[in-house]
Chains A and B, each alone.
Chain A
Amino acid sequence: MKSIKIVFILSIALLLNACEREVEFKPGTYSPKLVINSLFSNETPLRVRVSKSISVLDTNRDYTISNATVQLVTTGSAEPLLYDAIGDFYYIANNPIPTPGTNYVLQVQAPGFITARAEAKLPVLPTGFTFELIENVGVDNNGIPQDKLIIRFKDDAKTDNYYRFMLLYYSQFSATFIPFKPDNALSENVGLVSNSDGSFLLSDRNKNGQTISLEFTIPFDISMETPRFMVEFASLNKDFYEYQRTIAINNQNGVGLGSFFNNPVQVYTNIQNGLGIFASQFLYRDTIF
């Protein structure tokens, strides 16, 4: 019996003798691209960061570009953006706040690169927000009481809409609101993508025109201060949703290189001839006492 066992174990060992081997990676010649990162909202002026992509084999890791020309085109007129060397970003003189409905077109040129272009429009906010905090809805595994927070809003049936929201609790210790990331948010709120900063993304594709309800189970003792919570809600344009969604999944996959169970993620971009994102969001905040 022992010899049979040895033969079997040897056979298993041979069968499962998975092997690893290091090989050289030859991706071919890589052409760096302009990378544009810009997010504007109803609260913040438009700022643009410009950098470049580099080959994965480049060990220098220098992404900077300091000689780019950035222009913003609105309603047919082009306005050059100024460069802030300290903050390493480009901005519009006088820092105007973007307005809903305006189409913003960004053009970036730099020596040695193809001109990159992108456009974005500020979305509008949905209506009918309500928040409901129900105390003592149950107990957790350790017998500690739990509360429930329900956020409701009405989706606009005429358009494809994309949202991001974040729940923050007030910490007296730091006197700030801190993102709260309940473990059960995904299972209780189907169709959400979680970001590493504690926010969640939601598309209305399955809930078009409906009243969307999001429920969070909250431990009783997480915040006894007042105001207890703040809800940060944003209506996103589709480009920013796709960008955030793919980045979130990219981060969940670990180092972003995929695995046996997850395909590598091609992070979304709306930059023609380049990479990155030129996006917008309409922000809304409210506190819950």
Chain B
Amino acid sequence: MKGYYFKLLILVFFVFPLDMQAQETHELYGTVKNSKTNKPIANATIEITASGEMATTDGAGGYELVTSVSSGTYNIKVSAEGFRTFQTTHFIKGESILNISLIPISERDDDEDSTFYSENPVFIEDETHPSKKLVSTPSLKEMPYILAEEDVVRTLQALPGISRGNEGGTGLFIRGGNADQNLVLYDGVPLFNSGHVFGFFSVFEPEQVEKVNIHKGIFPARYGGRLSSVLDVKIQEGSKDTFGGYFALGLFTAKVGISGPIDAAGKTTYTVGGRRTTPDIFRMLSADNINNSDRVNFYFYDFNGKITHRLDNKKTLSLAFFRGFDILNFRAREDFIDSINFDPITESLRLKVGWGSSLASVNYTIQHNDQKKSNYRLSVSDYRLLFDLSEERIVNASTGRRTFNESIRYGNKITDYIAQADYEQVINRTHRLFYGASTTLHHFNPGEIGVKANLSSGRNIDTIIGPGRRNTLETAVYIEDVFALYSDVKGNLGMRLVSFNTGNGANQFFAEPRLHISKTIDSSLILYTALGRTHQFLHLVANSGTIFPTDLWLPATDKLKPMQSDQFNIGLHKKINPMWRVSVDAYYKWMRNVVDYREGLEIGNILSDWEERVASGIGKSYGVEILVGKTSGRLKGWLSQTFSKSTRQIEDVNFGRPFDFKYDRPVDLSLNISYDLNPYHTLMFHFAYATGNPITLPTGRYTDINGGVIYEYENKNGFRLRDYHRLDIGYHIKNPYKSVGARQTWKFSIYNVYARLNPILVFPDFESPTPTLTEFSLFNFIPGVTYQINF
């Protein structure tokens, strides 16, 4: 611990003084963009209200305002035709950057409190929802990323209370909850698999993301079906006015997207994008290292799109889709001569494994008036794994050619069919209602094995075996009142009622009350508290913190009850000055019917009697989360620190005794700093520190009833891997080539600068004369580069 604080202090003292420069005159510069489309706004006016000094943005949305005011905090007013006027305070000293996103007047922010945000605040606190964080899209660009590939989820992992699982993964483990306990919404539709390459990349393309809301604690009653959190990713609509797009090429992926109006009036807009691994990973390696007739290849892709059609000023119809898949291919062939009959024989083997998610939705929105809005959505979302292994044997005998083949196909799949209606209505100045209903048919196909064979014996096999398909039905109604008791007391009181049918019996009913309440002590200090209950009717049977194709979604059943969680939050949010803010959250969470494997899961057999192989019990999680952010100036960033504990107690695991949750991290720290060297060059640092993951190791050994030796594991997760820490550095160069008539960015990054070997596993060897542990680390020093053009 001493070492880590020492490194942290060096980092802070090394970096922060960079902001302490003094000049006679000051320069304020930045860009002004459309908050919806992320496009630059020309002719926007930026004014220092105290001095009346003004600047106007150019065609690229950029501005420079040289001012002679003495250093200090000033009110800045930003206005543009067709947009809401935005006012903020900003500390002016030397060169400072203020990037602004303006909200179009015709658009209505669907956040209940209509939160304005400038680009500078990285995370916006929501007064009525403690533990909710709104991540502005530009803030995603203010962190160094592995391989210089910006990633929404990695930004979230730097928030307090959210841990990443294993090294390099994009799993989200929130407040002691498992990765399956997060409701991940892709434009309002649940998404099952949010990662590529075993979770190394997330599926969200930052250029297409309009905004990201994450609810770490008690979430509003309009959300349900998951236990721990909601990650609500809203996808941008295409611009009504101009055609635009982006193209980026990195070491591992290439991505492209375009958007714009379909018709001249801008009634119909579109946005489409896609990404694919640039080289098919392993293909180039395998070509040199394996026999030429053998091929192994891995790649992933995703594509998405959204078409929005405004029927009139009040009615909008939109269609959205997404598909993300990982594919692994392996082919091998061998030619030989049969040693008995001397017949030439060719044997070939082909393996194809594919897994991923797809979704599609139709959305119909009616903005009745300023007080009422209705939204209707039909959607389908699935996750599937396909495993196809086939073997072929061709015998070129003198008597003729004979072909024999065998194939095994395995697939598991979950599909959600969802219908929902949501309403929003302003009752009066102090009450705003959200209410609605949804019904979800969960269709599970937890594992079918199809066998086809044309055997040398002449026998043909064509059969399907598996545990059988199952449907469950989850229906919910909810109502929320977003209220203001007084001008300084606001809140959200909600109730969600859920009916769940396991498909085998009668409906079960569950009530989920939720309450958030906040009090503003003065204009800079907000205190808040929340409590509520959630249920989850799905279980993810997974074997790792990363996303593996063997992950299996299974329903709650009569035996394996739905998970339930009660949570209590309390916290404060303090604006220290216009640049600095701090928030502190404390929580206590009780979970029931959480699942874990009974001793010794065997993946191959999980299909047969999966209810027998998992056990359920209780979980507890509590902690304190601290977030300190500097939200403007050339130097920006945030420090997040979590102190927490998460345990499980399950009758058939660890002899019924409590044990640490697999991703329990008592201390988790993240420091993110970005420093604008000038308008075109930005330097970024990210430092992460966390307690090592729990692991299970033996302490003793003894003999079993047959005389064999057994290792004694006194406590599940009773040991810890070494503490985790690493430093990443990023460097962005904006518009390096003036001749290119578009915004371009070179992005460089170095992941794990000092090549810390953070263990993810240990392999014990207690059979050798000198017992040893061998740590296995996945990554050390990884450089990355990406070139991106936005037009």
Contacts and interface: CB of A to CB of B under 8 A. Distances in A.
Given A12-B281, A25-B772, A39-B705, A18 B600 contact: no
A143 B700 contact: no
Interface stretch (A76-84, A105-113, A134-142, A227-235): A134-142
A186 interface: yes
B549 to A, nearest CB: 12
B285 interface: yes
Contacts of A99: none
Interface string B145-161: 00100000000000000
Interface string B442-471: 000000000000011111000001010000
Contact of A266 (B279, B702, B704, B716): B716
Given A19-B780, A138-B459, A25 B601 contact: no
A35 B703 contact: yes
A143 B711 contact: no
B608 A27 contact: no
Nearest to B467: A190
A18 B778 contact: yes
Interface string B335-365: 0000000000000000000000000000000
Contact of A191 (B608, B654, B697, B703): B608
Which of B544, B600, B783 neighbours the largest number of chain A CB atoms within 10 Å of its CB? Answer: B600
Contact of A203 (B455, B612, B780): B612
B612 A21 contact: no
Contacts of B612: 191, 203, 205-206
A266 B655 contact: yes
Contacts of A141: 455-457
Interface in B495-545: 543-544
B700 A20 contact: no
B597 A263 contact: yes
Interface in A13-38: 14-15, 17-25, 27-28, 30, 32-33, 35, 37-38
B704 A21 contact: no
Interface string B760-791: 01111011010111111111111100000000
A129 interface: no
Nearest to A53: B702
A148 interface: no
A191 B776 contact: no
Contacts of B543: 261
B731 to A, nearest CB: 18
Nearest to B548: A261
A257 B603 CA distance: 17
A139 B460 CA distance: 11
Interface stretch (A56-64, A66-74, A165-173, A212-220): A56-64
A180 interface: no
B284 interface: yes
Given A17-B779, A25-B772, A275 B599 contact: no
Interface centre among A51, A261, A265, A266 (most CB of B within 10 A): A266
A5 B712 CA distance: 49
Nearest to A28: B699
A252 B604 CA distance: 12
A56 B763 CA distance: 14
A21 B775 contact: yes
B284 A8 contact: yes
A11 B251 contact: yes
Contacts of B111: none
A246 B599 contact: yes
B368 interface: no
A264 B700 contact: no
Contacts of B465: 187
A222 B773 CA distance: 45
A157 interface: no
B713 A266 contact: yes
A2 B445 CA distance: 46
A118 to B, nearest CB: 13
B394 interface: no
Contact of B697 (A17, A25, A262, A265): A25
Contacts of B779: 15, 17-18
B558 to A, nearest CB: 12
Contacts, number: 191
A249 interface: yes
Interface string B577-621: 000000000000000000001011111010011011000000000
Given A139-B457, A261-B543, A275-B702, A256 B711 contact: yes
A40 B712 CA distance: 24
Given A5-B284, A247-B710, A275-B702, A20 B783 contact: no
Given A15-B779, A138-B459, A142-B457, A52 B284 contact: no
B696 interface: yes
A56 B609 contact: no
B455 A25 contact: no
B600 A262 contact: yes
B402 interface: no
B701 interface: yes
B698 interface: yes
B60 interface: no
Nearest to A21: B775
Q: How large is the interface on A (under 10, 10 to 19, 20 to 34, 35 or more residues)?
A: 35 or more
A249 to B, nearest CB: 3
Nearest to A6: B284
A272 B754 CA distance: 49
A264 B782 contact: no
Contacts of A116: none
A258 interface: yes
A56 B600 contact: no
B782 A15 contact: yes
B319 interface: no
B185 interface: no
A32 B712 CA distance: 11
Nearest to B757: A19
A53 B703 CA distance: 8
B702 A258 contact: no
Contacts of B705: 37-39, 49, 243, 276-277
B341 to A, nearest CB: 15
A219 to B, nearest CB: 13
A261 B769 CA distance: 27
Nearest to B279: A8
Contact of B703 (A37, A186, A187, A257): A37
A114 interface: no
Contacts of A56: 698-701, 711, 764, 766, 771
A264 B713 contact: yes
B702 A55 contact: no
A7 B465 CA distance: 46
Contacts of A37: 703-705
A185 interface: no
Nearest to B773: A25
A31 to B, nearest CB: 9
A7 B249 CA distance: 14
A18 B777 contact: yes
Contacts of B773: 22-25
Contacts of A149: none
Given A17-B780, A141-B456, A191-B608, A22 B600 contact: no
B764 A257 contact: yes
Contact of B456 (A7, A8, A143): A143
A186 B601 CA distance: 15
Interface of B: 147, 251-252, 279, 281, 284-285, 455-459, 465, 467, 543-544, 597, 599-603, 605, 608-609, 611-612, 653-655, 696-705, 708-713, 716, 719, 722, 757, 759, 761-764, 766-767, 769, 771-783
16 contacts: A7-B251, A18-B778, A21-B757, A25-B771, A32-B700, A37-B705, A55-B699, A55-B701, A56-B771, A141-B457, A143-B457, A243-B705, A249-B599, A263-B600, A266-B599, A275-B712
Given A252-B600, A252-B602, A275-B712, 13 more contacts: A7-B251, A8-B251, A8-B284, A9-B285, A35-B702, A49-B705, A55-B700, A56-B698, A56-B701, A138-B459, A255-B767, A261-B543, A264-B698
